Amino acid sequence: MSDVLGSDLALVDGDLAPTGAGDAALVSGTACLAQGLAHLLSTPRGTLWMHPEWGFDLWRFAQIEDLPVHRLDFCQSVQEAVEMDPRVVPGSARCTVQSWGESAIRFLLGIQPITQTHPLNLVMVASTSLDAVEVVGGDA
């Protein structure tokens, strides 16, 4: 079932992750899904000319005050973006902001992969200064 979630080249800080033999490492299953969601949330919406609706506007949340309305907007925007991925069951995304700082937003993301009966829970950090989102913990 993990092949439905895909396989991809493994990335570490945006660079290819090598194996011990020097080949490019691969990710598959939920790890591939987690990496893909981090890539989706790191890509500014509209920058892929063939897929202008794909991506997430992280820059909107850079250096704005930590208010409940901003946390709600952030989580709703994250949920909307990740549910565009066909490997995620529509309506299953849940986001909770853990901390909100000037340069980073740490949040929990729970999604239901289409191939599993239990949710995938991820801890992610959105670096508003670098326009990057990375998975820092969770089930993947």
Q: Where are the domains of the chain?
A: 2-138
Tokens representing 30 are: 């939920």
Topology of domain 2-138 in CATH is Nuclear Transport Factor 2; Chain: A, (3.10.450)
Of the ranges 2-6, 38-42, 123-127, which one carries the lowest mean pLDDT score? Answer: 2-6
Q: pLDDT tens for residues 17-68?
A: 888 898 899 999 999 999 999 999 999 999 989 999 999 999 899 889 999 9
Tokens 């893909």, residue?
36
Tell me how far CA of residue 55 lies from CA of 17, 62, 80, in angstroms.
23, 16, 10
Q: 47 CB contacts (<8 Å, ≥6 apart)?
A: 55
Q: pLDDT tens for residues 66-103?
A: 999 999 999 999 999 999 999 999 999 999 999 999 88
DSSP secondary structure of 82-127: HTTSTTB-TT--EEEEEEE-SSEEEEEEEE-BTT-SS-EEEEEEEE
pLDDT of residue 56: 93
pLDDT of residue 2: 52
